[in-house]
Structure formats: C-alpha cells, structure tokens
Structure 1
Amino acid sequence: MRSIVKLAAPAAAAALLLAACGTTGGDETTAAEGSSSGSSSCPADVSIGFFGALTGPNANLGVNEQNGVKLAVDQHNAESGACQVTVTPYDSQGDQNQAQGLAQQVVGDENVLGIVGPAFSGESKVADPIFDEAGIVGISPSATNPALAENGWKTFFRVLGNDASQGPAAATYISDTLGKQKVYVIDDATEYGKGLADIVRESLGAKAVKNNTIQTGQTDFSAVVADVQASGADAVFFGGYYPEGGLLLKQLRESGLSADKLAFITDDGAKDEGLITAAGAAAAEGALMTCPCLPPDKAGGTFVADYTEAYGTAPATYSAEAFDAANILLDGIAEGNVTREDLLAYVKSYDKPGVTKQLKFDEKGEPSEVSVWAYKVEGGEIVADQEINAS
C-alpha cells in the first residue's frame, strides 16, 4: 500500500490491476528492481515527466518537487504487480525561454503519458498550449498565476490555489494581522511575481503607498532601498523568487531598516532556505511569506517520514503537492489508463484524498479545496505562522 491518505481499493479492482499490469524496465531517474515483462495493458517504458527548474538560480523549488514525484513513483513501483513507471525530467531552469523546446520534447516522447508541472507560471504560459494541442495532461504543484486557468486548455490542472486567493490573503495578513498601513510593493517583472504583486496592490488599496519593479538576476537594490526609506513605508511586499528576494532583504536591513521598523513579506516563490542564505541569517530573521501550500509537516499519512527517510531531509515547499500530483497520474496508470487520452479523461474526474487535501478539479482545472498560509523565518528556519482566510 502507498503511504498516503487514500481509500482502500475494492478487492475486485485490486485483482483486475494484478491481472492487467506487469512491470517494465526503468531509466536513470527512477526504476524499480526485479521487473518482469509487461502485458498489452501495461506497455513497456511507461513514464511521467517532471517539468521545472532542476538547475539554475531557482533550482531549490524544482528539486523539492521532483523529490516528491520520485517518492510517489518509487512507492507505486514497489507495489505488488504494479505497472512500472519511470520519471523523465525536463529541466527548465525556471526560464520560460526554454519552455517551448522542452514542451516539444515531451510531445515527441510517446512514453510520457502525463506531466507533473510546469512548476513556474511563466514556463506554464509557454508550454501548456503545446500540451493542450497534443492532449497531454499536466498537473502543476506550484504555478499560481490565475490567468493560466482562463485559456480554455483542457489539459491544465493544478493542485493548489492560485494568486487570486494568495494575493488578497497576503493583503489581509499585512493589514489586519500585522497592522501595517503603508506598504511598499515590489515585483520582479515575471509572469508570476508581477501578477501576484498586482493583486496584492489592488487588495491593499490606499495602503499600497508606492510601487517598484526589479529584474531577475539583479543584485544591486540601492536605488530601491533608498526609495523605500523615503516613502516612510512600514512594510514591503515583494512578489518574486528567493534569489532576488534574499538580496533585497539583506540590503534593506543593512540600510538600517530593521525588522521592527519595516516588515518584509514575500511569497511562495521566495519561501525557501535560499532566501535565508541570500539574505544572511540575521537579516532574514522575522521575514514573512505567504503560500497557497500546506505546511510540509502537516501532510497526511506517512509522507513526512517517508520523504525524510528517502532524502535525509524534511520535505520543503511544494514537495507534498508534487507528491499528490504524481499520485493522481499514477492512480490513473494503475487503473489501466495507459494512453494520453485515457489518462487525461481519468484526471478530469479524479476525486480522492491526497496528503495535502481532497484532490478534485473544476472544469478549469482548479482544485476544489484552497488554503493559504503565512510563514515566518524563526531561528534560521521557515516555520508556519498561521492559516489565512483565503476568501
């Protein structure tokens, strides 16, 4: 049995699975040992892809997710009689300019039945229309731009709430919980960072006293820091990723804007130890972030223990969401949906508990359950603060 929160399959379904699925060989990424020859209902070389940053400045987030996918596949493959599945990685480096070529690689590999990802909103905007045209289902554990669900794509799904929930929740947390009245909002000009920051700006209304934009890869924020000082802001919200967020935070603190003078709030793209590394432990202490993700230690079943045993470290941002996304695809394969068309149809009607939530999608591919949490850096670690009303 997989160590996730799921209803037990009826005996008849289990017998059918054993009869229908043999096992196949694996690849260098994930493969079970002791495989036997497959059957017509369990083709050789069945694979699911992972599409996200595995190298580059934002790789921490992608590695967290791929680890969740690999854990799900390893557990699936270890089940008696399971159709053996491999993981095919597509390393986007978080760069949407690479997304088109990678998506075309996915389309061209007939063994890949579905994708966990794309991980980031920018690469999703490029890759998802290609997947839609080819009929390849993609389930993102982390792409949160609301517009992704508004394109009419039949193959798009995500297992977390979008920024139309995170943005207002962040604004509520800043104004009501933190009591901040003058918020300086900064974005990184990306599909994700600007999209979320714009929603926060709108939700804050008059409390958003100043706006600014930086660029990915930027390292000198002296002009922005000086403008924050001149604005008299009591809080900064940054929409973007941890490399720039950490350096921005460091330079704000070095300017004399301590945590008691200026709260620093950011988002799920910066909810990573890389923020602490870039800022330095002292500067990062007290930093806050929001995320439409469950605190990893609250994931159900034995996920936390299994992940920790497999990787020697606790699960991090989006590990559990990626585990859930992978298990949706694996459940479909286990039930004999071994064509792209059949697996897509299976995902559309999916309704089972995962380790993060009940996993069910509406007609746009959005999850039926949404939660937004606030996190904080405390003692050099990112810990859960509280769940925020996501309405």
Structure 2
Amino acid sequence: MRQKLARVIGGVAMVALVAGGTACSSGDDAAGGGGDACGSKIAFFGALTGSSAALGINENNGVKLAVDKYNKENADCKVELASLDSQGSPDQAPGLAQKAIDDTKILGVVGPAYSGESEAAGPLFSEAGLVTITPSATRPSLADQKWKTFFRAVGNDFSQGPAAGNYMKNVMKADKVYVIDDQSAYGAGLADEVKKLLGSAVVGSDKVQGEGKQTEFSGVVTKVKAANVKAIFYGGYYQEAGLIRKQLTAAGVTAPLVAGDGVNDGAYITSAGQAAAEGTILTCPCQPAAEARGTFVQEFKALNGTDPGTYSDTAYDAANILLAGIKAGKTTREGLLEFVKGYSGEGVAASYKFTENGELDPAQVKVWAFKVTGGKVVPDQEIPKS
C-alpha cells in the first residue's frame, strides 16, 4: 500500500521550488525574460466528447481542481483553464495543437491524453516551444522523437506491458493467451510488449479497428473460442474492449480479459455489461486515484460531484507542476519549459522528476492491477514492472 506522507498545502510538496515566487510576478524569468502571470492560461488537451471521453473528463476534472485551488490562493491574480476537446482523434490533434499555440496566453499544456494524438501534435508543440505534460499517453516511442517540450507524468508501456504479462503468467497462471489490439499507437505498442514477455504462451493474435469504427467482432471471437485460451489480452480503449468482452461472453468464452489503462474506466463496464465485465483485470502505470495523498479525493468530489477516476490525480499533479512554475515567475513559454525540465517534487499521485527525454524517473513508476468486482473497478495489487 501507499506510504503515508505528511499533509502539505494543496497536497503537493513544492515549497522549496516556489519560495520567493509571487503569483503576479513580472520580475526575473531566467529563461524567458519575465511577464505578468495574471490572465495566463494552462490548457487541457484530450477527449471531452465522443467515444473516448470518459478518460479525458477524468483528467480535465483533475486539472480543473488544480486551477480552482490555485485561483482561491491567488485571488488577485488568477490563471485560466482552456479545455481543448480532441475527441481522442489523431486527425483533429494538429489543428487543436495549433489553436493552443496561437493563443499566446497559454503557457503550458496538460496532455495530450492519448498516444495517437500525442504523435500528431507533438512536433507542433515542440517547434512552438509550448511545454506539455501528458498524464496518460504511454507509447514508449513518444519520448524518442527529440521533442524538446514533451514530458510524461506516468510510466510508459515498457513498464506496463511486462507488468500485465507478469500478472497473467504469475498470478493467473495463464499458459495459453490470445492477444488482440486496435492498431493504435498505444494499443499495438502495449500488445507487442505483452507478446515479448509471454513468448510461446501467446497462441494467437488478431487486430481490430478502434475509435468506434468497429462494433461487431464475431471473427475474432470465433478464433479466441477455438484457441481455448486461459486469458485474453486487449491493447486498446474501453469502448471496443467492452464490446469484445460482451460478445466473447455471449459466445460462451469464460477466459478473463486483461487490458491496459486505456480500458481502466467504469465506462468499460457500461460497454460490456456488468455480468460480462466481472473479473476483468485492468493494469495502469499509476496507483489508485482513491488513495491519492492529502485531501485530493474529498476536494475532487466536492468540486466535480464524482469520485476521481483513472489519471484524475496525475492530471492534477501535472497541472500543479505548471502552476508552480507560473507562481515562481516563469511567465513565458520558454521560462516555464525550463522550470519543468528542472522540476523535482511530490504530488498527490507520485514523486516527479523527469529524465532528459521527458520520461518520469523510472524509480518513481509503479504499476497496479485493478479488477472488476461487483460492477466496480477496484484495486487488486501492485505488480512488478519486469
């Protein structure tokens, strides 16, 4: 279980980093020449409508809480939140990125939320010097593009994929596994990592279409049933995962489904139906949001009227890193980028320090398995990354 830490203001220990900073500083900005923080913006970039919206709403609500708390503490010099709805589509991402870039008041971005849209938007953000901290995009290759503005607040699929494989091998004792993915940057990458770890235990694999493009999966269901497997792994997002699980169950396939963080949301249960979803294992390179440090859970629910979901806490932490930089007087894009590069501090979900290519320090990465039990996604256990 999570180590209990002393409660700190705002749930984030960043006193040393912001000491001497003021909310309306127009003083020295070491990298960017300084400016006025009042009226500055941070943006959230992710799906708020469409088939992939559940995860984006979780995250946007976390960012909203961070901004709300900041503005209460700095009532004379507030920061605005710009929520940019990508619908989770890589096709829409470049235009939306340009919209953020063109708004000169936006100093930093929480997101993009998904790997595909990150691949599409990343080059534009890098060229513009607009810092981004994704709370959930886990495709490993995102950190290999030499984007100077890319940072990731969670572990990547090099940690999550092997952990999912280890869970199937060591906890489920599954010696026959069928692997399916949605051909997305995220889903295919995660499935590849699982295949590498399980090796000959993978007796079959197949690909489907994501982004709501496919709703009927009888072909893959027939193959899975014929393979008589002990577990099924799905790399992709919750909408298709739920439909696949529903159709597998209807065909009499009882082998449990295992999937990554793109499925780790209550919307999966809605898609599959409670009875079919029961027993599903969902991994995440994150700890349970309900166990976030300090008063995060209570404050999140008070503001948003719902409990935090997957990545609500990491999005909150990512926003607070950007806000700490603004508080410290980093009121240009260049200045805030340099601040994030050198950041080291505690959040409600994890400790944060970034490597040269923007990855979260591997020592801080934890991977958890969650289980659908009684119609809810509940924590199961922390699992080894390798």
TM bin, normalised by shorter chain, reads over 0.9
Question: Which runs of structure 2 are paired with 1:310-329 in the superposition (5 Å)?
Answer: 310-329=303-322
Is contact 1:2-1:76 (8 Å) kept?
Answer: no
Aligned to 2:25: 20
- Match status 1:230 vs 2:237: no
Per-residue CA shift, 1:159-193, capped at 9, x if unaligned?
00000110011000001111000000000011111
Moved over 2 A (4+): 7-10, 18-22, 40-45, 80-83
Match of 1:94 among 88, 96, 99: 88
Aligned to 2:282: 289
Q: SS of 1:268's equivalent?
A: coil
2:372 corresponds to: 377
Rounded to whole Å, the distance in 2 between the matches of 1:18 and 1:376 is 43
After TM superposition, give the deviation of residue 20 of structure 1 in Å.
2.9
Distance in 2, Cα, partners of 1:7 & 1:215: 43
Go from structure 1 to structure 2 and tell me whether the alpha carbon gap of 1:289 and 1:44 turns closer, same or farther (over 3 Å shift): same
Report if aligned partners of 1:194, 1:239 keep a CA contact under 8 Å in 2: yes
Q: Among residues 261, 264, 285, which one is paired with 2:257 in the alignment?
A: 264
Aligned to 2:11: 4
Residues in 2 aligned to 1:7 and 1:347: alpha-carbon distance in whole angstroms: 12
Compute the TM-score of the two structures, normalised by the length of structure 2.
Answer: 0.92
How many angstroms does 1:294 deviate by? 1.2
**Aligned-pair CA distance for 1:82:** 6.0
Partner of 2:383: 388
Alignment deviations for residues 35-80 of structure 1 (CA, whole Å, 9 cap, x no partner): xxxxx84244200111100000010000000000010000011114
Q: Deviations over 1:183-234 (max 9, x none)?
A: 0000001111111111111111001110000101211111111100111211
Hey, what's the Cα distance between the residues in 1 that align with 2:137 and 2:111? Answer: 8
Corresponding residue number in structure 1 for 2:207: 213
Which residue is 1:30 aligned to? none
Higher RCO (Cα < 8 Å, 6 or more apart): 2
What is the rounded CA distance, in whole Å, between the counterparts of 1:331 and 1:324 in structure 2?
A: 10
What RMSD over aligned residues (CA atoms) do the two structures have, in Å?
A: 1.7
Percentage of identical aligned residues: 51
Count of residues in Structure 1 that have an aligned counterpart in Structure 2: 369
| Kept in 1: contact 2:24–2:329 (CA 8 A) | no
Counterparts of 2:39 and 2:385 in 1: how far apart (Å)?
A: 42
Deviation at 1:84, TM superposition (A): 1.0
Deviations 1:240-297 (A, max 9, x none): 0000000100011111112xxx121011001111110011111111111111011011
**5+ residue gaps, structure 2:** 1-7, 28-33
> Which ranges of structure 1 fall in alignment gaps of 5 or more residues?
23-39
- Secondary structure, aligned partner of 2:151: strand
Q: Does 1:133 align with 2:127?
A: yes
Distance 1:219 1:18, change over 3 A: closer
TM-score, normalization by structure 1: 0.91
Paired AA for residue 168 in structure 2: I
Letter in 1 for 2:46: G
> Which residue identity lines up with residue 378 of structure 2 in the other structure?
V
The answer as to 2:171 corresponding to 1:177 is yes
In structure 2, what is the equivalent of residue 246 of structure 1? 242
How far is the alpha carbon of 1:85 from its aligned partner? 0.6
Q: Would the aligned equivalents of 1:21 and 1:82 in 2 still touch at CA under 8 Å?
A: no
Q: Are the equivalent residues in 1 in contact too, given 2:25–2:329 (CA < 8 A)?
A: yes
Query: Is this contact kept in 2: 1:49–1:114, CA < 8 A?
Result: yes
CA distance in 2, matches of 1:188, 1:280: 20
CA distance in 2 between partners of 1:286 and 1:231 (Å):
20
Spell out the pairing of 1:95-174 with structure 2 (5 A cutoff).
95-174=89-168
